[in-house]
Structure 1
Amino acid sequence: MRYVERKELLNQVEGLMLKYCEGCFLHRHLIKESGRRAAHRFCISQCTIGERIKQYGEKLS
Structure 2
Amino acid sequence: MKNSSRQELFNRVESLLGQYCNGCFVHQQFKQDGGRRFAHRFCISQCTVGEKLQEYGKKLT
Which bracket does the TM-score occupy, shorter chain normalised? Answer: over 0.9
Structure 2 equivalent of residue 46 of structure 1: 46
**TM-score of the superposed pair, with normalisation by structure 2:** 0.98
Once the two structures are superposed, residues 7-31 of structure 1 have per-residue CA deviations (whole angstroms, 9 ceiling, x without a partner) of 0000000000000001000000000
Moved runs in structure 1, 4+ residues, more than 4 A?
none
* Residues in 2 aligned to 1:12 and 1:29: alpha-carbon distance in whole angstroms: 26
Segments of structure 1 that go 5 or more residues without pairing to the other structure are: none
The percentage of counterpart residues that share the same residue type is 54
SS of match in other structure, 2:23: coil
Superposed CA RMSD: 0.4
* Residues in 1 aligned to 2:14 and 2:59: alpha-carbon distance in whole angstroms: 15
